[in-house]
Amino acid sequence: MIYIFGSGLAGLSAAISLHKSGYKVTVISKKIDGGSSYWAKGGIAAAVGNEDSPELHLSDTLKVGDGLCDVKSVDYVTREIRYVISTVEKWGFRFDEGLRLEGGHSKRRILHKTDETGREITSFLLNLAKKEGINLVEDKLLALKVKDCEVVGFVTEKGGSFDAEKVVLATGGYGYLFKFTSNPSTNVGDGIAIAFRTGALVSDMEFVQFHPTVTTFDGKAYLLTETLRGEGVILLNEKGERFTFNYHSKGELAPRDVLSRAIYDQYKKGYIVYIDLSPIEDFDGKFPVLSKYIKRYGKKLQVFPGAHYTIGGIRINVRGETNIKGLYAIGEVSDSGLHGANRLASNSLAEDLVYGVNLPMYIDNWEGLSVDDAKETVEVKLSGGNSLSLDEIGEYNWNYLGIVRNGEGLSKLVKVYESADLNDNATLVSLLSAKGALLRTESRGTHYREDYPNKSWEDGKRIYFVVSR
């Protein structure tokens, strides 16, 4: 039996693909219809257009990744996604006609289904999993059992202790650990913390992507997808100035980190920022869900940045394997090196599908993550101190680990977490992220240090963490 934790796009696509290849699988998820996948709006990047190619997709990904992408992973995903899309279509899913353009992409290559692509494809896969008779269990992973660097089982909240030789973690990222976020509450870094305690290598934790355009409807955060900017919307400050070109030559189509900092800077200067949706033609047809809100709220909406995607996680190779035998990690919980220091829009759902659908190719012949390149590994000692609430962690992370960071704030934060209870997943993951951000004395991709505003480290140099024994 292969146990998959998480029922987002990564977990469900792996489960269906393994099941269709003849493997027995059980999916265990804290919330069966939970996770960021259901909230994803824009779509899935794939070079399927006539004038597009995997090479162009690769080149765009590397550019946005700012010198830290693992080229092997980028090459793998940008090539494989085209085949994986046809597999998902063979399973019966239909994308809408036409490809959309998003920030950082040189071609129209975003496959989509209405303006709720994530919900559409993940619900489709969930129904398919049910139809295929895949065992779906609502329960929470608490711990992994690992002996001599090999998985031997796991412990869940309701089910207790189980033996297992193969465990796939697809538990998502930790974007919910910031006060302002676009993420659902399921995403608090459980899988990363649980794997880390057993000896899994974790990397790139300092890189957290903030989405520039989050708004609120009915008091709740709502993400205004990248695609809107691809369709020509503009950002204005309250003086009516289209300020984006002061920060980047591509204006509204600049990479997310640049736009997030630009909007953050406008707020720091005392200006509220608005998005003007009126340039989009056929709004109701293109964005049917959003258009329902627009009818009530109008086409000029206040926007602010929020934590959106966590790039770092459990280090894996292109086969989804970690350094713990029998332990796989796929999707946002993992760090495959695809995104480097910054994620190109719509590449994460592509990563979910490639690593999920292709898992049967590797599941019977373990190679394991080569740890040769992880020579400079930082050891972290686990402690048991005072416990922090999620609200406290969210506030700390937003203030000191947010869009603009500095050494003083990060040192303070690391001390807070080092003296807190590291048996708590959210605290441990926050410590790793803060420590990475403190150690990286430069600015690169999503990581911006006002005391080190330039890129100065060697390209490809990453920070790995391992638990201290």
Q: How many of the other CB atoms lie within 10 Å of CB of 354?
A: 29
Task: Please identify, using beta-carbon distances, which residue of 32 and 71 lies nearer to ligand FAD.
Answer: 32
Kindly indicate which of the ranges 15-23, 38-46, 363-371, 433-441 contains the residues binding ligand FAD, using the contact rule CB under 6 A.
38-46
Kindly indicate which of the ranges 35-43, 58-66, 201-209, 291-299 contains the residues binding ligand FAD, using the contact rule CB under 6 A.
35-43
Torsion over CA: 30, 186, 363, 152 (sign): negative
Determine the residue type at 39: W
Kindly indicate which of the ranges 169-177, 299-307, 365-373, 405-413 contains the residues binding ligand FAD, using the contact rule CB under 6 A.
169-177
Kindly indicate which of the ranges 168-176, 286-294, 407-415, 458-466 contains the residues binding ligand FAD, using the contact rule CB under 6 A.
168-176
Q: Tell me which of 237, 348, 427, 430 binds ligand FAD, using CB under 6 A.
A: 348
Question: And the tokens for 302?
Answer: 């206040």
Q: Which of 430, 383, 390, 426 is nearest to 410 (CA)?
A: 430
Determine the residue type at 49: G
29 counts as binding ligand FAD under rule CB under 6 A: yes
9 Cβ contact list (under 8 Å, min separation 6): 37, 40, 118, 121, 122, 125, 331, 349, 352, 353, 356
Per-residue interface string for the shown chain with ligand FAD, residues 141-160, x marking contact by CB under 6 A: x-------------------
305 counts as binding ligand FAD under rule CB under 6 A: no
Could you say which residues in the range 124-143 bind ligand FAD, by CB under 6 A?
140-141
Q: Tell me which of 3, 4, 6, 166 binds ligand FAD, using CB under 6 A.
A: 6
100 counts as binding ligand FAD under rule CB under 6 A: no
Alpha helices in 44-146 (DSSP H): 54-65, 71-90, 117-131
Kindly indicate which of the ranges 30-38, 48-56, 257-265, 431-439 contains the residues binding ligand FAD, using the contact rule CB under 6 A.
30-38
118 counts as binding ligand FAD under rule CB under 6 A: yes
Q: Tell me which of 75, 115, 352, 424 binds ligand FAD, using CB under 6 A.
A: 352
336 counts as binding ligand FAD under rule CB under 6 A: no
3-state secondary structure 317-349: CCCCECCCECEEECHHHEECCCCCCCCCCCHHH
Q: Write phi, then psi, for 275 (nearest 5 degrees).
A: -105, 135
Task: Please identify, using beta-carbon distances, which residue of 172 and 394 lies nearer to ligand FAD.
Answer: 172
Q: Tell me which of 70, 75, 120, 190 binds ligand FAD, using CB under 6 A.
A: 190
Q: How far is CA 228 from the centre of its chain?
A: 20
Q: How many of the other CB atoms lie within 10 Å of CB of 372?
A: 6
Sheet holding 304-310, edge to edge: 220-223, 208-217, 304-310
133 Cβ contact list (under 8 Å, min separation 6): none
Q: Tell me which of 2, 3, 14, 41 binds ligand FAD, using CB under 6 A.
A: 41
Identify whether the C-beta of residue 304 lies closer than 8 Å to the C-beta of residue 263.
yes
Task: Please identify, using beta-carbon distances, which residue of 40 and 463 lies nearer to ligand FAD.
Answer: 40
Helix, strand, or coil (residue 7):
coil
Identify whether the C-beta of residue 290 lies closer than 8 Å to the C-beta of residue 215.
no
Residue 249 Cβ vs ligand FAD, minimum distance, rounded to whole Å: 24
Determine the residue type at 401: L
| Eight-state DSSP code of residue 280 | -
End-to-end CA distance of the chain: give it in Å, rounded: 31
Q: What is 43-70 written as a DSSP string? A: -EE---STT--HHHHHHHHHHHHTT---
183 counts as binding ligand FAD under rule CB under 6 A: yes
| Eight-state DSSP code of residue 386 | B
Identify whether the C-beta of residue 369 lies closer than 8 Å to the C-beta of residue 26.
no
Q: How far, in Å, are 256, 315, 324 from residue 28 at the CA level?
A: 33, 22, 20
Could you say which residues in the range 76-95 bind ligand FAD, by CB under 6 A?
none
Residue 425 Cβ vs ligand FAD, minimum distance, rounded to whole Å: 8
The residues that are catalytic are 256
Q: How many residues bind ligand FAD (CB under 6 A)?
A: 44
Task: Please identify, using beta-carbon distances, which residue of 34 and 326 lies nearer to ligand FAD.
Answer: 34
Q: Tell me which of 18, 62, 64, 170 binds ligand FAD, using CB under 6 A.
A: 170
10 counts as binding ligand FAD under rule CB under 6 A: yes
Q: Tell me which of 36, 430, 433, 443 binds ligand FAD, using CB under 6 A.
A: 36
Residue 373 Cβ vs ligand FAD, minimum distance, rounded to whole Å: 24
Task: Please identify, using beta-carbon distances, which residue of 28 and 280 lies nearer to ligand FAD.
Answer: 28
Could you say which residues in the range 203-242 bind ligand FAD, by CB under 6 A?
223
Query: Where does this chain bind ligand FAD (CB under 6 A)?
Result: 5-11, 28-31, 34-37, 39-44, 117-118, 140-141, 170-172, 182-183, 186-187, 190, 223, 308-309, 331-333, 346-349, 352
